[in-house]
Amino acid sequence: MTPVFLLLLSLTPILSSCQELKSGQVLSVQNETRDAFEMIAKTNANLTNTLTHGDIMPNLKRNADPCTAIGCKWPKTGSYVYVPVAMTGDFSSQERDVIIRALVSFHQSTCIRFVWRSTEADYLIFYSGTGCWSYVGRQRNQQPISLQRNGCIYYSTVQHEVIHALGFHHEHVRSDRDSYVNIYTQNVQTGMESNFMKVQTNNLGTPYDFNSVMHYPNYAFSKNGLPTISAKSNPNMVLGGATQMSSNDIARINRLYQC
């Protein structure tokens, strides 16, 4: 029995489908060295009229930013925040394993606990829709997260979309971003300017994080091969290359949910 299998079993008694793995099976996560935005931008290239900020499904019922102050946090019971999840039959067993591994990663460092949905009214459902996208925060009832096959089933991408569902926006649009990054709107593709609009975020006393899995890269939505975003402290700093949650991503989740 492999260490990966033992780890999954020890951390996820609530995600029972991990037990579908066979003894000795080694999970293959699709090219985990790719950053989340690289795959999201590629897969969502034709969805610009549907999504906001690249991979966020707008909530037409209310203004959700910052929604965590007005009820879109997931409820906490005792020491843990239990988030019910479900998956459609769209995914192969190996793709399910990638998604589960990404969910389990939250158990290791936060008080978020993903549980298989039984009769809960509010829950996340992962399915292979068109593109990679999520809503920001808890929306009530069945809440989809789209992870298109052959484009979105990556460890970092799943983490990225789940962090949206927990209530977080992209790092480069946070309310204090102008102190840390330059945005070059003259280099942004026509129609993509809204991806760089600031949001009135609650930054929870955490520093701006260039290494966040929620940060855009330097050339995001560039129309001319020139940067659309750069760090003020070091214009040559490479942005948006995270392949997993940073320590600050984790700290923000823990502060928001008082872990």
End-to-end CA distance of the chain: 32
Mean pLDDT across 5-34: 38
Can you tell me the mean pLDDT for 121-128? 95
Tell the burial category of 4 from Cβ atoms under 10 Å away from its Cβ (0-12, 13-18, 19+): middle
Q: Bigger pLDDT: 19 or 243?
A: 243
Residues forming beta bridges with residue 143, ordered by sequence position? 124
170 is in an annotated binding site: yes
Given a contact cutoff of 8 angstroms between Cβ atoms, the answer to whether 167 and 256 are in contact is yes
- Annotated binding-site residue? 53: no
Residue 258, burial from CB neighbour count under 10 angstroms (0-12, 13-18, 19+): exposed
Q: Per-residue confidence at 66, pLDDT binned at 50, 70, 90?
A: low
pLDDT of the residue at 166: 95
**Range of lowest pLDDT (46-55, 113-122, 246-255):** 46-55
Computed on alpha carbons and rounded to an integer, the radius of gyration of the chain in Å comes to 18
Domain 36-169+250-257, second-level architecture: 3-Layer(aba) Sandwich (3.40)
Mean pLDDT of 233-238: 95
So which residues are the catalytic ones? 161
Residue 160 is labelled as binding a ligand = yes
Residue 102 and residue 32 in contact, taking contact as beta carbons nearer than 8 Å? no
Residue 1, pLDDT > 50, answer no
| Lowest-pLDDT choice from 54-63, 127-136, 154-163, 170-179 | 54-63
| pTM exceeds 0.85 | no
Domain ranges of the chain: 36-169+250-257
